[in-house]
Structure 1
């Protein structure tokens, strides 16, 4: 009778089936001894992530990282390479789907040409669930992929037309782009720094 497959090996095999995306995202990570270090994600998929970092953990070490535009990631080190290491990403199927949407957005944001990408810092909010409301009273659940002081991108099943006035929570704006997973919204007025920081 074959030996049962471990959870770690399952994650590693699954990770190979995901499409990788080249990224350049700053972040910080915490090692098992609670040491915090600056790091950079250089490529990733919904199943694993390649970090550049000054310190190198050991294979098997559990890592918690906070990455710009992505948020919190947990995983275990599976490979040590020059100037960095690769970790698995421990996540549910739903979380992987969301991460795939975020990576698609990052890969395509230059082509989308969103003006707020160039003007303001974008973050992946800590609490991403929200609701997008139209002027006619219709409202749809959505997930904020990333957010800046002047706009955001949301994952949503419907695609309101360009220029449609919308309300995301208490923030009013209009649809300025459509993409595969949802729409991009430009706010009618910029968020205050205090309100923006509350999303971290």
Structure 2
């Protein structure tokens, strides 16, 4: 009987944390000590869903380092096509700090505060490329600028925010529209040298 009573408080605890949709890049380490790039889909002080290069096993211990947040650790609670969701093991004080950080990040997005320029913007040698949409159609585009985390491109189609796209061979997601095109975030952080080689 004691065993059957345990799941209820866990479910109640999960419901008590409000998830925030934010986009943060980082890296994570699985139990085999392999490191991979990731991006937050949504997060609360108690759990986080990540788009991940490599999906671990349910119950596996994970250590994650996120921009603006720092180090978190926990275990994989569920897996899905492009990543996994994990619980966050943290003290009450750490959870309070996480809640404050998430509130600030969510408000910054809602208020459209200046974009975090943590990654240097570069202009490719050849700005002309193609954008491929989920229906398979390709459209010519001009790259305004690139960074390790994304790109701004000028092109005729304007897919809805959240649409997965390919810029050349790089997978990303539409995150913002502007007058003549849109900005996208890459699925994983790119090395500047590899970006320049891709669009030389």
State the shift of 1:82 in Å: 1.6
Task: State the TM-score, normalized to the length of structure 2.
Answer: 0.53
Deviations 1:41-74 (A, max 9, x none): 1100000000001211000000000001110010
CA contact (8 A) 1:41 1:50 kept: yes
Q: Which runs of 5+ in 2 are unaligned?
A: 120-200
CA contact (8 A) 1:22 1:43 kept: yes
CA distance in structure 1 between the aligned counterparts of 2:79 and 2:112, rounded to whole angstroms = 36
State the shift of 1:120 in Å: 4.2
Q: Secondary structure at the match of 2:24?
A: strand
Deviations 1:144-190 (A, max 9, x none): xxxxxxxxxxxxxxxxxxxxxxxxxxxxxxxxxxxxxxxxxxxxxxx
Distance 1:33 1:121, change over 3 A: same
Question: Alignment length, in residue pairs?
Answer: 119
Look up the match of 2:73. 74
Q: CA RMSD in A?
A: 2.5
State the shift of 1:101 in Å: 0.2
- Alignment pair present for 1:40 and 2:56: no
Alignment of 1:1-200 (within 5 A): 1-3=1-3, 13-111=12-110, 117-118=114-115, 120-121=117-118
CA contact (8 A) 1:12 1:88 kept: no
Q: Which runs of 5+ in 1 are unaligned?
A: 123-200
Distance 1:5 1:30, change over 3 A: farther
CA distance in structure 1 between the aligned counterparts of 2:53 and 2:22, rounded to whole angstroms = 18
CA contact (8 A) 1:15 1:45 kept: no
Task: State the TM-score, normalized to the length of structure 1.
Answer: 0.53
Look up the match of 2:171. none
Deviations 1:126-149 (A, max 9, x none): xxxxxxxxxxxxxxxxxxxxxxxx
CA distance in structure 2 between the aligned counterparts of 1:88 and 1:101, rounded to whole angstroms = 18
Q: Secondary structure at the match of 1:24?
A: coil
Q: Secondary structure at the match of 1:3?
A: helix
CA distance in structure 1 between the aligned counterparts of 2:78 and 2:14, rounded to whole angstroms = 13
CA contact (8 A) 1:47 1:96 kept: yes
